[in-house]
Amino acid sequence: MKKSNALGILVLILAIMAGMTWYAGTIVSTVGVGESRNIKLGLDLAGGVSITYQAVDENPSSEDMDDTVYKLQKRVEAYSTEASVYQEGNNRINIEIPGVSDANAILEELGKPGSLEFQDEDGNTLVSGTDISDAQPNSYNDNTGMRQYVVELTLTSEGAEKFQAATAANVGKTMPIVYDGEVISSPTVNAEISGGSAVIENMESYDAAKELASTIRIGSLSLELEEIHSKVVGAQLGEEAISTSLTAALIGLILVMLFMIVTYRIPGFAASLALVLYSALTIWALWIFDITLTLPGIAGIILSIGMAVDANVIIFARIREEIAAGKSTSSAIKVGYEKALSAIVDGNITTLIAAVVLGIRGSGSVKGFAYTLGIGIVLSMFTALVVTRWLMRCFYALGAKDVKFYGMAKERKTINFLSKRVVFLAISAAVICVGFVAMAVNGANGNNILNYSLDFVGGTSTTVTFNEDYSIEEIDEKVVPLVEDITKDGNVQTQKIEGTNQVVIKTRSLELSEREELNQVLEDEFDVDESGITAENISSTVSSEMKSDAIWAVIIATICMLIYIWFRFKDIRFAGSAVIALLHDVLVVLTFYALARVSVGNTFIACMLTIVGYSINATIVIFDRIRENLGGAKRSDPDSLMEVANRSITQTLTRSINTSLTTFITVFMIFILGVTSIKEFALPLMVGIICGAYSSVCITGALWYIFRTKFAKK
């Protein structure tokens, strides 16, 4: 590349980078103002709308309530992946939708969840709303080129039989759809319909199809509901949470950049510039894809800053190895990228598979986490493989050709890690056993085996009308400590109802005596009138169905990752070792949760999923090097296989340490500067990072060697 061309390309890249970074900063600085370019914020950061419904039936069954909560959860996820639905008392359901401030508009669009029936022309009910599992709008061009708008129905297995019988008996007639006694559509039955799916045709517009589909979905609830009240609630956390998180992000980013520059020189400088662009692109992606950002989401982005350097570390280590082998700087850069490509692609695709499965199968915070994870993977690969590479080519063409600008891998004596494999495996087994024992002891003492928060077990919601308008920061400072002292609960959540002096305080389930004590303290300390205090039991925001969705999503993702690794490495022993190492990291972090009694809430799910992605990526890097080194080894000789494993771990040791260190730095900054809830997310993550580094160096190679020697055939 000519100097003039290199200079032009460099200026262009830097100009684009500066412009995008400036605009990303503008987006961040205007978050919450309400402009169209702003990123949506979750209920914890910006508040939103809270709607309370009550079942028309005074004594609904718990099964019908659970089913209705779950179906409403799936419905409101259309507004935000972070929307939550939970039961209050015996017959009420609360819906909280973040990032919106017009309760009336939401109510009008959501409608009143009521009863829905498909009837014949004489008004006899043929199919009920509970027989419809889904309804979605769609459009297509017919044979004449005209645009047609339809509603596609999916029925339950029982509903499919009813629908087939109903359509067979009413061919040529209309089948009115009745919602709360009002006919909302009268489609004509053209033929008998079987197979569990149907299409309502001849809708006048896509909006009309969308509205009808929405009404059918709402009408398919197990219970008929009526609105009790709606309100706009403030952020659960104050502005301090956002500012400290952003400060942590900035400090973490600067520290990682300095580390990369000092450690890797010119390549590190190029990677640092690309890291700035990566951060800007991440903000852009959140805005473009309309992803709701919550406090764990901010932590996830900060975490991804540390993980984004992983690909660069792999590449730079390869370049140094090639320089040490006697290649010219230019050739070393070229070959370094080529040799690093397989590890980067395999590691990121494996994690991306998990993100896709979690996004499809998961719900709530799992789905939101999957979106953020997927975006981070794609952008980190782009910045490492494209942006950093072009910057390095430009710097090289402009005169940075000396080896001293890139470094040279030092000759490292192979460390015999596998000789200590029995010790390493015994330590891991002991730690995991301690975790199971701790959970058993917790259960025997009458506590939950883990410290489940409101998100998992529900609790008590107390609404207090104060005599003055406290800010959320004042509530956290003055009110929350008193509540924690009475309840001995460190997971108190507070929300302010906008336009009033009311505050909602959510705690673990309180006994009658504890409620009375709390009421008395509020009266004594804040002169609150007893009539201004009301309390209700609330269910968990993570329903049993959502837990089931999350578990199945993780199981399916793990199987898909196993199959991909098996396919890429042509040996299931690699895949089996990777999955066991992944399970090891999860169980060790679970042990920490059991011993430290850190709160297990929505952030627990995000934390575990982050560790899964981090763990599998680290494992793939070592396995890629083992696969490469196997070429010249005696595959049937245990000593030769052990030497391959030890050499591969030693060769990737710098990568393992440096990547873990950069990731740890960013998470540590979250822990130091973050608010309480973010600390409870950061602390287990730090444990997971340390554990991931340990397992990748001490466990994965040992597992592969054991499988390879004990099970000689693939």
Chain-centre distance of CA 358, in angstroms?
Answer: 8
> Under DSSP, is residue 231 helix (H, G, I), strand (E, B) or coil?
strand
Q: Per-residue pLDDT averaged across 563-572, rounded?
A: 87
Q: Where are the alpha helices (DSSP H) in 362-406?
A: 365-382, 388-397
Compare 471 and 8 and report the one with higher pLDDT.
Answer: 8
Annotation: CATH topology of 3-26+237-405: Multidrug efflux transporter AcrB transmembrane fold (1.20.1640)
Nearest to 392 by CA among 270, 276, 308: 270
* Mean predicted lDDT score pLDDT of the chain: 83
631-648 residue pLDDT tens: 766 667 888 899 999 999
Q: In this structure, what are the phi and psi dihedrals at residue 90, rounded to the nearest 5 degrees? A: -90, -25
* CA–CA distances in Å: residue 519 to residues 126, 167, 532, 707: 52, 59, 10, 62
Which range has the worst mean pLDDT, 104-113, 348-357, 429-438?
104-113
Check: CB of residue 528 under 8 Å from CB of residue 467: yes
> Which range is least confidently modeled, 32-36, 170-174, 279-283?
32-36
> What is the 8-class DSSP label of residue 478?
I
CATH of 50-112 given 3.30.70.3400, 3.30.300.30, 3.90.1640.20, 1.10.443.10:
3.30.70.3400
pLDDT of residue 428: 95
Q: Tell me what the mean pLDDT of segment 300-320 comes to.
A: 79
Dihedral pair phi/psi, residue 53, rounded to 5°: -110, 155
- The phi, psi pair for 87, rounded to 5°, reads -85, 145
Written as six digits, the tokens of 265 are 């020189």
Q: Do domains 50-112 and 459-538 have the same CATH topology?
A: yes
Is residue 209 a contact partner of residue 647, using CB atoms and an 8 Å limit? no
- What does the alpha-carbon distance between residue 452 and residue 322 come to, in Å, rounded to a whole number? 51
Nearest to 691 by CA among 551, 565, 593: 593
> What number does CATH give the domain 116-220?
3.30.1360.200
Q: Name the residue ranges covered by the structural domains of the chain.
A: 3-26+237-405, 50-112, 116-220, 417-436+543-710, 459-538
Identify the three-state secondary structure at position 428. Answer: helix
d(CA 211, CA 132): 16
What pLDDT is recorded for position 234?
A: 63
Residue 9's pLDDT band (cuts 50, 70, 90):
confident
Q: Spelled out in words, what is the top-level CATH class assigned to the domain 417-436+543-710?
A: mainly alpha
- φ and ψ at residue 600, rounded to 5 degrees: -105, 100
Please check the confidence at residue 209 and state whether its pLDDT lies above 80: yes
Question: Under CATH, which number does the domain 459-538 receive?
Answer: 3.30.70.100
Q: Report pLDDT for 566.
A: 87
Residue 63's CB is within 10 A of a number of other CB atoms, namely: 9
pLDDT class of 597 with cuts at 50, 70, 90 = confident
Better-predicted residue by pLDDT, 557 or 397: 397
State the sign of the Cα–Cα–Cα–Cα dihedral 373, 374, 375, 377. Answer: positive
pLDDT at 607 over 50: yes
pLDDT tens-digit readout, 504-539: 888 888 888 888 898 898 888 888 888 888 888 877
Residue 141 buriedness (CB in 10 A; 0-12 / 13-18 / 19+): exposed
In this structure, what are the phi and psi dihedrals at residue 413, rounded to the nearest 5 degrees? -70, 135
- Work out the pLDDT band at 34, boundaries 50, 70, 90: very low
pLDDT band for position 35 (cuts 50, 70, 90): very low
SS (H, E, C) 558-579: HHHHHHHHHHHHCCHHHHHHHH
pLDDT tens digits along 253-307: 888 899 999 999 999 999 999 988 888 888 888 878 777 776 666 666 666 676 6
Closest CA to 461 of 396, 536, 515: 536
pLDDT tens-digit profile of 660-670? 888 888 888 87
Predicted confidence at residue 676, as pLDDT, reads 67
Q: Which of 356-370, 429-443, 576-590 has the lowest mean pLDDT?
A: 356-370
What pLDDT is attached to residue 37?
Answer: 42
Q: What is the pLDDT of residue 490?
A: 67
**Side chain identity at residue 691, one-letter code:** C
* CA pair distance 103, 80, nearest whole angstrom: 15
C-alpha pair distances (Å), 134 with each of 110, 153, 156, 163, 682: 16, 6, 9, 14, 38
Residue 526: Cβ within 10 Å count: 15
